[in-house]
Structure 1
Amino acid sequence: MAKQTGSIKLKGTIGDINYYKSKNGGHLARAAGGGFQKGAMHKESMARTMENATEFGRCSTTKRVFKNALAPFLCVRKDGELHGRMVQLFTKLKDLDAVNSRGNRSVGRGIETPKGKQLLRDFAFTPSCSTTEVLACSLNYEFNTRTLSVTNFDIKNVGFPAGATHIALTVGLLHFDFDTLEFSLQNSTPLYMNKQYSATSFEMNTDLPEVGGLAVAVLGMKFYQEVQGTYYLFKDANAVGVEVLGVE
């Protein structure tokens, strides 16, 4: 970097030289065109930062598309903290990638591992409303038949929110390709039950999604209040539940 010593102080760009005044009052000159900044960005000390930024951007895109894929279940109520929780989840999944080098790790390679599948299986989309706790029954999802079997069910044990008269359950089967970000979601017919529902076991199934990829089965739970034949959806945190039934 050059320093001006003459009596004429210049400011601006002349030819390939950029003249400017430093913070301490001195007058300096450097090559124009941003060469200094580009050089700094490629210093060894910046390599890790650039790798992290690349992986974070890829991870965020995957998270956004995955969330959109489950929109029919997740859009019922707004949760300002869901984004942050999902970013943490997908970052952990990316960190499980032992195939690619740092800077090229992906969620897709991480979720292929047993631990990756378990992380998604255990993720709480709606921590304030656990479907297994509210339903207080046995849930078993079979991927081969795309069927959820519910046993030991008693409507009297269901934790209805105050004022709710009906509960609705929907099973979804999502196929998600983490490489191409293509996906297909198939949902079951919703099952509506009032407080007089008498069955102790039932099954729910879906059609086969149209694309390949990782299979994720989810259960959605909503509560309603019936008033003169009109059903009003509850959107409180304790009235909307989404739970992962299995990952394969």
Structure 2
Amino acid sequence: MAQQESIIKLKGKIGDLTFYKTKDGYQARQAKGVDPQRIATDPNYQRTRENNAEFATGAAAAKRLRDTLRPMILLTYDPKMPGRLFSRVMRVVKADAVSDRGERRVLPGNLGLLGQFGFNAAASLTNTLFLEPQCTVDRVAGTVALDIPSLVPKLTIAAPQGATHFQFNFGAAVVDFDTEGEGNGSVMAIAESETSLLMAESFAGVTLTVELPPASELPLFALFGISFYQEVNGKPYPLNNGAYNPIDIFRVDVA
């Protein structure tokens, strides 16, 4: 182990050397690692190769899901969401009871594990809206509808402080986890209600409908959430850039 004797105090990495501070002063050590070629070929690293392969599968699937659902995800804000979503997708990969270890993948029958995933950990849909809309999927026609009944906003919606208006957001997507590149079949459609006053006596209810490719056999995800706004000089502005908006995977449907 090398120890610095000069007045130059370094912390961090330079090349393959790591500099750090101890009670005995500033020291340096050479970074250690396993040769990538050995990991790729040595039988002792078979388990590592299997884990790396499934990690890559989960990362690619989570990215495909995020990319497809982006129009809805952008309505809210949670910097830790990608990591949380990856962890949930890895549960789907590990639930594959058919493939060999290292070759497990995202099977449609296991995608129910993604149900009720919240894209904003700081805002739970179940703690914000005290009713459950009804979702209807017609795969043959390619339509997905969400029926939101009439309600009294101040009794049914737990709005954050400063919000004056709300809007219901609905989206549905079919996601192709198997095909790479352009034209993989993943597509999303969104619909939204009118912006309504939180202090209104009642909300009349609304049915939000989106259209997807008819007769698709791809896994289908329905997302639902609420956006909050603050009115300033007669114009509504997103409250805190969406930090209080809950968006959840409301339903997962597989053909």
Fold shared, TM-score > 0.5 on shorter chain: yes
SS at 2:212 equivalent: coil
Is contact 2:76–2:244 with CA below 8 Å preserved after alignment? no
The alpha-carbon deviation at position 76 of structure 1 amounts to 3.4
In structure 1, which of residues 170, 187, 191 is the aligned counterpart of residue 190 of structure 2?
187
1:243 alignment partner in structure 2: 248
Question: Cα offset for 1:194?
Answer: 0.8
**Residue 77 to residue 142, structure 1, CA distance change in 2 (3 Å):** closer
Q: Give the equivalent residue in structure 2 for 1:227.
A: 232
Q: CA distance change for structure 1 residues 164 and 209 in 2, over 3 Å: closer, same or farther? A: farther
- In 2, the alpha carbon distance for the partners of 1:65 and 1:197 equals 42
Task: Compare 87-96 and 206-215 and name the one that shifted more.
Answer: 206-215
Normalised to the residue count of structure 2, the TM-score between the two structures is 0.73
Residue matched to 1:9: none
Letter in 2 for 1:64: K
1:153 equivalent among 151, 154, 157: 151
1:133 alignment partner, SS class: coil
- 1:50/1:40 CA distance change after superposition, 3 Å: closer
Q: Distance in 2 between matches of 1:227 and 1:83?
A: 33
In the other structure, the counterpart of 1:13 is none
- 182-191 or 232-241, which deviates more: 232-241
Alignment of structure 1 residues 102-113 onto 2, 5 Å: 102-107=101-106, 109=107, 112-113=108-109
Could you list the per-position Cα deviations for residues 210-229 of structure 1 after superposition, in whole angstroms to 9, with x for gaps in the alignment?
Answer: 76511110013110011112
Distance 1:216 1:119, change over 3 A: same
Q: Is the 8 A contact 1:138 1:153 kept in 2?
A: no
1:63 is aligned to: 62
The change in CA–CA distance for 1:202 and 1:130 in structure 2 (over 3 A counts) is same
How far has the Cα of 1:184 moved from its partner?
A: 0.4
Give the total of aligned pairs.
208
Look up the SS of the partner of 1:131 in the other structure.
Answer: coil
TM-score, length-normalised on structure 1?
0.75
Which amino acid is 2:120 matched to? Answer: T
User: Which consecutive residues of structure 1, in runs of 5 or more, have no partner in the other structure?
Assistant: 1-35
Residue by residue, what CA displacement relative to the aligned partner does 1:197-222 show, whole Å, maximum 9, x if unpaired?
Answer: 62353321112247651111001311
Alpha-carbon distance, 1:55 to partner: 1.4
Question: Mind listing any 5+ residue stretches in structure 2 that lack a counterpart?
Answer: 1-34
- CA deviations over 1:108-135 (Å, ceiling 9, x no partner): x2xx22xx23311132222321223312
**Secondary structure of residue in 2 paired with 1:135:** coil
Contact 2:137-2:145 within 8 A present in 1 as well:
yes
Q: Which residue of structure 2 aligns with residue 17 of structure 1?
A: none
Superposition RMSD in Å:
2.3
CA distance in 2, matches of 1:155, 1:67: 31
Q: How do residues 83-232 of structure 1 correspond to structure 2 at under 5 angstroms? A: 83-107=82-106, 109=107, 112-113=108-109, 116-144=110-138, 146-151=144-149, 153-157=151-155, 158-180=157-179, 182=184, 183-195=186-198, 196=200, 198-209=202-213, 212-232=217-237
Corresponding residue SS for 1:231: strand
